Structure 1
Amino acid sequence: MSESSRSVPAALQDPGARRHPAALAHRGFSPDGHENTLAAFRAAAELGFVWLETDVHTTLDGVVVAFHDPTLERVTGTSGNVNDLTWEQLRELRIGGTEEIPTLTELLRALPEACLNIDVKDEASVAALPGVVAREHAAHRLRVTSFSESRRRRALAGITRLTGRRAKTSAGTLGTAGFLAVAAVAPLTDKVSPRVAHALWAAHRAAWSRVVAPFDTLQLPERHTVELPLGRRVTVRIVTRQFLDLAHREGLRVQVWTVNDPADMDRLLDLGVDGLITDRADLLRDVLLRRGQWPPDPQD
């Protein structure tokens, strides 16, 4: 048995002896830009996608809707904030002039076989989302995430409290930053023993257990641009083979967003990522078909 295999629990040693990569349709699939609409979600489902990525905001009267921006202007041409309107007001608006804004309930009912990767975008949804999930018996169909660790943690706790189930979840900003810190030193500590990075990550989890909810997945871009003083920028590559190795040793899946070029899809899949999130569901399907990796695994 290798040093690496002794350093982590057996069940987590090779989550990568995996089936097919995960494929997530980012806000559905709509070449016309009608994102987060029932038409876009149905189009992705018709291509064979099981996992649909979406976002939620909540109206003034507590209705959870699939919508990305806090404001309405970009996709509806109407000024105002989602949180400031009632559902009766919001339902009159159209995305791209033609498509209705769907409620989360409508989406869950319209596509009962679909799984949703939900980004909790606002504070109101922390309270409202768990009730929808409980009423629709949908906890097993979700992955919950948010850039805000607080929103992610409290939304997950609400779902568990109302349903008795733990939904899948990907790391928020704080959890991702902690893992990146360990990943940065792992190439050095691995020269001593893989157990060092494992111990460092365990220490992070223990220290942050009250504020960072456990997660099973890291969803992040391949590269991140850091803004520096005097208008300078530095682009850092996050997803490397070493990063993936550590994630897999710790039982975490890595899904990269938002990948729309077939050459990038192939390159990242060759590198060993566990899944891709894309606006171009049609192109990702073609790539995975060509690679003999279609259909995607619904468990991811």
Structure 2
Amino acid sequence: MPEHPYLDWPGPIPFAHRGGNRVAPENTMAAFEHAASLGFCYLETDVHRSADGVLVAFHDENLLRTCGLDANIADLAWTQIADLRVGGTEPIPRMLDLFERFPEHRFNIDCKADAALEPLVELINAQGALDRVCIGSFSFKRLQTIRRRLGPGSLTCLSPIETICLLVFGRLPGTAQRAAQVPPGHGRITLVSRRFVRNARRAGIAVHVWTINDAAEIRRLLDLDVDGVMTDDVELLRSVYAERGVWASNT
């Protein structure tokens, strides 16, 4: 199977996790604008669906942590959500806003709720964005539905059970195009090792590691030849990539 267009990048992919959060609050247009200004082409975000069907770029189910309102996105209309401010300063963007603002960028989108699945599929199709998105979820059922609805041209991340299969058996069943988007480890278990990267290579699966905000760990992962690193600290990641001679940008 040929490599998905999303993965066509000259070196390890630098991902701006939620756009970064050092200069502006996470998952806001200001954060994504900052990452793009540094040359990041890959923007990671999350989606939830409002009560009236609007897809918003937001990580938490609840608004308390970032907006100070103890309410769920799924229970509010878009007009109510639009009045809120992340960190007291920045509005919550719609996913449509991000697609329109960054037509040449690639999006890593974590589908956080079943209710967001159908609007996300419809938006990707309406935008003709299948070649520039990778869809993630911790739900295997949700990923299976996304793969079925978007078809063989889609790219999704591995579910936790698929990641375990790759780790233990070194292979995966099925023909769907997938990427392993994983943390370095879980508890006492080291996940991203030379063996894991080697298994992924043999299975034709890219390895993207999240969420790394430490220079030494970024260097360790690059030494393992991973295919991408996600970070909240976009300046740090760009600096380490440049130091190693692997920084490439969309500008």
- Is the structural similarity TM-score above 0.5? yes
What is the CA distance between 1:296 and its match in structure 2?
Answer: 5.4
CA distance in 2, matches of 1:100, 1:129: 20
Query: Gapped runs of 5+ residues in structure 2?
Result: 4-8
CA distance in 2, matches of 1:272, 1:80: 42
Counterpart in 2 of 1:216? 178
1:83 equivalent among 58, 70, 74: 74
Counterpart in 2 of 1:179? 166
Q: Which residue type is aligned with residue 82 of structure 1?
A: I
Q: Is the 8 A contact 1:22 1:296 kept in 2?
A: no
Q: Is the 8 A contact 1:171 1:215 kept in 2?
A: no
Q: Which residue type is aligned with residue 182 of structure 2?
A: L
- 1:63-122 residue CA offsets vs partner (Å, 9 max, x unmatched): 100000000000000111011111111111110111110000001001111110000000
Of 254-263 and 132-141, the range deviating more from structure 2? 132-141
Counterpart in 2 of 1:158? 149
Trace 1:123-202 onto structure 2 (pairs within 5 A).
Answer: 123-160=114-151, 166-183=153-170, 201=171
Please report the TM-score for the alignment, with normalisation by the length of structure 2.
0.92
Q: 1:296 to 1:168 in 2, by over 3 A?
A: farther
CA distance in 2, matches of 1:39, 1:129: 22
Whichever of the two has the greater Rg, that structure is: 1
Query: Gapped runs of 5+ residues in structure 1?
Result: 1-8, 13-17, 184-200, 226-234
1:69 equivalent among 38, 60, 65: 60
CA distance in 1, matches of 2:141, 2:212: 27
Q: 1:80 to 1:97 in 2, by over 3 A?
A: same
Q: 1:279 to 1:292 in 2, by over 3 A?
A: same
Q: Is the 8 A contact 1:30 1:43 kept in 2?
A: no
CA distance in 1, matches of 2:73, 2:18: 17
Q: Is the 8 A contact 2:147 2:176 kept in 1?
A: no
State whether structure 2 residue 204 is matched by structure 1 residue 251.
yes
CA distance in 1, matches of 2:179, 2:250: 15
Q: Which residue type is aligned with residue 110 of structure 1?
A: R
Aligned-residue identity in percent: 39
State whether structure 2 residue 175 is matched by structure 1 residue 239.
no
- 1:213-271 residue CA offsets vs partner (Å, 9 max, x unmatched): 7243101111101xxxxxxxxx1111111111111111111111111111111111011
Please list every run of at least 4 consecutive aligned residues from structure 1 whose deviation after the TM superposition is greater than 3 angstroms: none
CA distance in 1, matches of 2:250, 2:139: 28
Q: CA RMSD in A?
A: 2.0
Counterpart in 2 of 1:6? none
Q: Is the 8 A contact 1:25 1:53 kept in 2?
A: yes
Counterpart in 2 of 1:48? 39
What is the CA distance between 1:33 and its match in structure 2?
Answer: 5.6
CA distance in 2, matches of 1:181, 1:257: 20
Give the number of aligned pairs.
Answer: 246
Counterpart in 1 of 2:107? 116
